Structure 1
Amino acid sequence: MKQFSLFLVFIIFNSCQYFDKQVPSEKELLQKELKAINWKEVDEYPSVPECEKITDKKLRQQCFFEVMGQLIEAKLDIDTLSILYPELDTIEVKVTVFPNATMKFEPQFPKDTVAYDTIKIDSILHARLVDFPKVNPAIKRGIPVKTQFILPVIIKAKDQK
């Protein structure tokens, strides 16, 4: 019995080390978690219904870019952009997909562009790039997030159809 009580006392004194451990503060845990997150990548890229069946992340992203490029090209194909600026064959469009599934389109022109009336091109793009199909926003850790990307859009001349 004396050995048992000695053993019990030994266990109690050794178990105290389990109670003295410091628990990290909430701020420390938050900072550690925030540093672990890669903010440059999303878990799921934006998507359109045509690409929903694709499970591979890269193929789904590629599908989305192709569909968006085709939709933008089709909307600009019926415009006078190719007539006004026949030398303009490609416009880079910055596409922003917001968490509420709305989109914004901004043409990107080189800094030294003086050959084009950028305000006129911008207004044509804003008038034409409306009524897109539903786009599911990008997902990061289960939450919809804003994403931006630049798409090169090919402007077809009327005689190239």
Structure 2
Amino acid sequence: MAFMRKIVVLACICLFASCDWFTSKEDKTQELVHEEMQNINFNEVDRYPMFSDCDEMVSKPAQRICFETTLLMHFSRTLEDFDFVIDTEVKDTIYVDFMMDRNGSISVLGIQKNSNIDDQMPEFNGIITQSLKSMPKIEPALKRGIPVNAKFRIPIVLNSN
């Protein structure tokens, strides 16, 4: 009788321990995907967009610096081509919000500036938008090796003397 009781207890332990054996592979996969999704930081990319001048083998901060520097140099060259007629001295920072899609295309989401700049340089938004469209080819940002959409904000400092 004691032997039979031990077998029943052992069988119950095996039954409770084996519940995981009966879950489907789909359920296990869904659980793993859910856990992995909790670990992904969707606010950061693994690799910043790359211009041909930038080295993809450098650190992520260096990639960001190269991306931003190249972008700002492009804006600077574009703005130098225009002669703005300004009534008063301008010292201001403009913020350009743009989206780089997974295909490497750029679109302006918004330009934050004060009304004084709008009054003195009404064509500024068009120039910035056109400048972004004339950018050299850019490889999109990557997250886990997959091209992704990425939003950026670039400050442009205007200083007229």
Q: 2:73 corresponds to which letter in structure 1?
A: Q
Task: Measure how far apart 1:21 and its partner are.
Answer: 2.3
**In structure 1, C-alpha distance between the alignment counterparts of 2:19 and 2:44, rounded to whole Å:** 39
Aligned to 2:115: 114
Which residue among 30, 35, 47 is the counterpart of 2:33? 30
**In structure 1, C-alpha distance between the alignment counterparts of 2:17 and 2:66, rounded to whole Å:** 54
**In structure 2, C-alpha distance between the alignment counterparts of 1:15 and 1:117, rounded to whole Å:** 75
Unaligned runs of 5+ in 2: 1-10
Aligned to 1:47: 50
Mapping of residues 118-137 of structure 1, within 5 Å: 120-137=123-140
Aligned to 2:97: 94
Q: Is the 8 A contact 1:91 1:107 kept in 2?
A: no
**In structure 2, C-alpha distance between the alignment counterparts of 1:104 and 1:61, rounded to whole Å:** 19
More strand per residue: 2
**In structure 1, C-alpha distance between the alignment counterparts of 2:93 and 2:117, rounded to whole Å:** 13
TM, length-normalised to structure 1: 0.72
Aligned length: 145
Aligned to 1:80: 83
Aligned to 2:62: 59
The 3 A distance-change label for structure 1 pair 78 and 89 is farther
Q: 1:80 corresponds to which letter in structure 2?
A: D
Unaligned runs of 5+ in 1: 1-12
Q: Is the 8 A contact 2:91 2:159 kept in 1?
A: no
**In structure 2, C-alpha distance between the alignment counterparts of 1:120 and 1:21, rounded to whole Å:** 66
Aligned to 1:21: 20
The 3 A distance-change label for structure 1 pair 38 and 127 is closer
Aligned to 2:3: none
RMSD: 3.0
Task: Measure how far apart 1:16 and its partner are.
Answer: 7.4
1:42-87 per-position Cα deviation (integer Å, ceiling 9, x unaligned): 1111111111254211111111111111111111111134x24741
**In structure 1, C-alpha distance between the alignment counterparts of 2:106 and 2:77, rounded to whole Å:** 17
Which stretch shifts more, 19-28 or 41-50? Answer: 19-28
Q: Is the 8 A contact 1:97 1:146 kept in 2?
A: yes
Q: 1:148 aligned to 2:151?
A: yes
After TM superposition, the runs of 4+ consecutive aligned structure 1 residues lying more than 6 A away are: 13-18
TM, length-normalised to structure 2: 0.72
